[in-house]
Structure 1
Amino acid sequence: MNDVAAAAGVALKTVSRVVNDEPGVNPATAEKVRGAIEALGFRRNDGARTLRRGHTSSIGVIVRDLADPFYSTLTRAVEEVALTHGFLVFTGSCDESASRQRELALAFCARRVDGIIIVPVGDDQRYLEPEIHAGVAAVFVDRPATNIDADSVLVDNVGGVRKGIEHLLARGHRRIGYIGDAPEIFTAGERVRGYRETLTAAGHLIDPSLIAMASPSRQGIRAALERMLLSSPSPATALFTGNSRITVTVLRELAELEASGQGLERRPALVSFDDFDLADLLTPGVTVIAQDPARIGRTAAELLFRRMEGGNLSPVRRELPTRLIPRGSGEALP
């Protein structure tokens, strides 16, 4: 900065004001300083600036898998909000590993991020309490935190499934299979709860043979479909799938069952929780319960910046709605 001041013929304080976009500098003088900065290739030392200001103008985002379109869309929305505040975003995937998520979160905090947005994994996030008490803002998305009070942005999972099951019941389906993710995952547990509660409220008994809950695998989903559609004396006439990854695998396995000649005479009606690319271009199009990952990301980021602005605020829990998009697969009759 001394070289810039000498080249521009101004005081060091004037250069500092221009570099940090502070007021009080004559426009012509500021232009002269910028010219000197450009000529000398000067770059601001953000590390020193951070030490002076006490924050880094950065936040961390940790999701299950950045390659998943749901989480990539959510993260992009967080970035858009952060950009308006002049903040950088660091991201990481934990792949449903609680230990990996903890390592990432503490690594971000060690690098002095000002806030962190997390899709929580595991049953205890108390390791973040010292960081929050030290001033790191935290917002949990998609799932609530456990054993810690913090802001969260969730989706109405139970209500979303209710819409889908009622949609199938209204078309005369009574044997509705449910294929979901591992039950220990919050969203998976909430969605199968919505399935059970909706059928019970409609006066139907819950048939355990029509429910499959496990970490998605092609073999497991194939076995569930064969049990529900081929082996049962009273096969399912409709399916509800708990997320888009499961839905895509179900569609592949249904196509193979049809081609194999194993006795699948007609496809069951299908409703998916989560939309996905090309769902509207299939024949028939896939009826979905759509979330809005961009809205989830924006809401979480806005809560985070509100939290970073300070004040004695009580933890906030936002639950966003879903919407039913009928495209054909969920409208098939029994």
Structure 2
Amino acid sequence: MTSRPVTARPTMKDVAAAAGVGLKTVSRVVNGERGVTEETAARVREAITALGFRRNDGARLLRTGRTASVGLLLEDIADPFSAALTRAVEEVVRAEGSLLFTGSSGEDPERERELALAFCARRVDGLIVVPAGDDHRYLLPETESGTPVVFLDRPAAGIEADAVLSDNAGGARDGVAHLIRHGHRRIGFVGDQPHLHTAAERLHGYREAMAAAGLTVDQRWIESGTSDPARVAAAVARLTGGPEPVTALFTANNRITLAALHHLPPRPPALLGFDDLELADLLSPGLTVVAQDPPALGAAAARALFDRLAGDSSPARRTVLPTRLVPRGSAERPPH
């Protein structure tokens, strides 16, 4: 039995020789650094492809202390909002020459903690977290040892960290004011669990808009809880039934809006949702929404993380991005 010859793995020196450039030039191209002309970079990439060169990340870790990887923790990666965040984060991470690892917490604080610490144990360079829990002090040892963490969609609790958020209260306030301008006075609110930052802020915006219009909020018009379709169906039935039903509904996230659309009465109330939905403009009437900008949120969070990795040591920042009211018809129905 004859053994197969072992082919040496090509090195940066081999690439440099094949491309006719110096070792530092190859290093810059491989690591996505500046200072190389496009013509030279193309020659280096051709040599990399021809030789089958692959970067040795183990050696990189020993040399720089960096693994060229980022961890992203989301509520649910299958949710359209989370999917858009992921794509935006991934584009920035890829442009920085790094890999993205993702996980879903399922709104479970213990699962969030478990995943975050697992990513840290695998030496990710930094974390982007859409938090489920309300105590993030478990990350203090990681941040104190130099691992930057950026919170996305909701702020951290118990630690100082960068956060990139939407203007949840302002968006809700604008949306409810839009319903009021169309003649609605009895407006129902169907929201997520009240301990969540986004849910609390959207309820706050609802109350602000009602107060600004001189309208008293009846507590019976407010339904907060999980996004479970059965819970939303029961909430919609109660709010739109009885002798004094609400004339409009404000559904405070995309999953709640989707569930509500399946359970509207034959004479539906005006409907305004927080978060845009795919094909919302194809409904009849089209769905009026307060739209966030998930790509901008994800990109801003990723850029904030790489700023920290590049040495930014300024105090923690909170970045708040505006929302946008998109009228399409469903919220413009008059009261009946």
Name the TM-score, length of structure 2 as normaliser.
Answer: 0.87
Q: State which drifts further: 105-114 or 281-290.
A: 105-114
SS, match of residue 67 in structure 2: coil
SS, match of residue 262 in structure 2: helix
Q: Distance in 2 between matches of 1:223 and 1:9?
A: 67
Structure 2 match to 1:48 = 59
Asked if 2 retains the 8 angstrom alpha-carbon contact of 1:19 and 1:44, the reply is no
Once the two structures are aligned, what percentage of the paired residues are identical?
50
Change (3 A) 1:135 1:332: same
Change (3 A) 1:313 1:51: same
Q: Which amino acid aligns with 1:330?
A: A
SS, match of residue 330 in structure 1: coil
1:173-206 CA-to-partner distances (Å, cap 9, x unmatched) read 1010110111111101111111112112211111
Correspondence 1:1-334 to 2 at 5 A: 17=24, 20-21=27-28, 38=50, 43-231=54-242, 233-254=243-264, 257-258=265-266, 266-334=267-335
Change (3 A) 1:33 1:310: closer
- CA shift, 1:32, in A, is 11
Asked if 2 retains the 8 angstrom alpha-carbon contact of 1:154 and 1:296, the reply is yes
1:69-104 CA-to-partner distances (Å, cap 9, x unmatched) read 111111111111112211111111111011111111
SS, match of residue 253 in structure 1: coil
1:203-260 CA-to-partner distances (Å, cap 9, x unmatched) read 11111111100002222222212221112x2111110000111111111011xx43xx
Q: Which amino acid aligns with 1:333?
A: P
Q: Distance in 2 between matches of 1:285 and 1:8?
A: 57
Detail structure 1 runs of 4+ shifted over 2 Å in the superposition: 1-10, 14-24, 30-39, 41-45
Asked if 2 retains the 8 angstrom alpha-carbon contact of 1:210 and 1:228, the reply is yes
Change (3 A) 1:73 1:237: same
Q: Which amino acid aligns with 1:144?
A: P
SS, match of residue 85 in structure 2: helix
Change (3 A) 1:43 1:305: closer
Asked if 1 retains the 8 angstrom alpha-carbon contact of 2:184 and 2:247, the reply is yes
Q: Distance in 2 between matches of 1:308 and 1:210?
A: 47
- CA shift, 1:31, in A, is 7.5
Change (3 A) 1:328 1:52: same
**Which 5+ residue runs of structure 2 have no aligned equivalent?**
1-6, 30-34
Q: Distance in 2 between matches of 1:167 and 1:92?
A: 37
Change (3 A) 1:35 1:118: closer
Q: Which amino acid aligns with 2:170?
A: G
Q: Distance in 2 between matches of 1:21 and 1:129?
A: 34
Q: Distance in 1 between matches of 2:88 and 2:225?
A: 30
Change (3 A) 1:148 1:52: same
Structure 1 match to 2:32 = none
1:21-41 CA-to-partner distances (Å, cap 9, x unmatched) read 4899xx99x9799869945x5
SS, match of residue 271 in structure 1: strand
Aligned CA RMSD, in angstroms, stands at 2.8
Structure 2 match to 1:263 = none
Name the TM-score, length of structure 1 as normaliser.
Answer: 0.87
Q: Distance in 2 between matches of 1:9 and 1:177?
A: 67
Change (3 A) 1:36 1:137: closer
Asked if 2 retains the 8 angstrom alpha-carbon contact of 1:4 and 1:33, the reply is no
**Which 5+ residue runs of structure 1 have no aligned equivalent?**
259-265
Q: Distance in 2 between matches of 1:33 and 1:326?
A: 49
Change (3 A) 1:183 1:9: closer
Asked if 2 retains the 8 angstrom alpha-carbon contact of 1:139 and 1:303, the reply is yes
Asked if 2 retains the 8 angstrom alpha-carbon contact of 1:216 and 1:246, the reply is yes
Change (3 A) 1:80 1:37: closer
- CA shift, 1:112, in A, is 1.1
Q: State which drifts further: 102-111 or 290-299.
A: 102-111
Q: Which amino acid aligns with 1:121?
A: A
Asked if 1 retains the 8 angstrom alpha-carbon contact of 2:72 and 2:100, the reply is yes
Q: Which amino acid aligns with 2:232?
A: I
SS, match of residue 108 in structure 1: helix
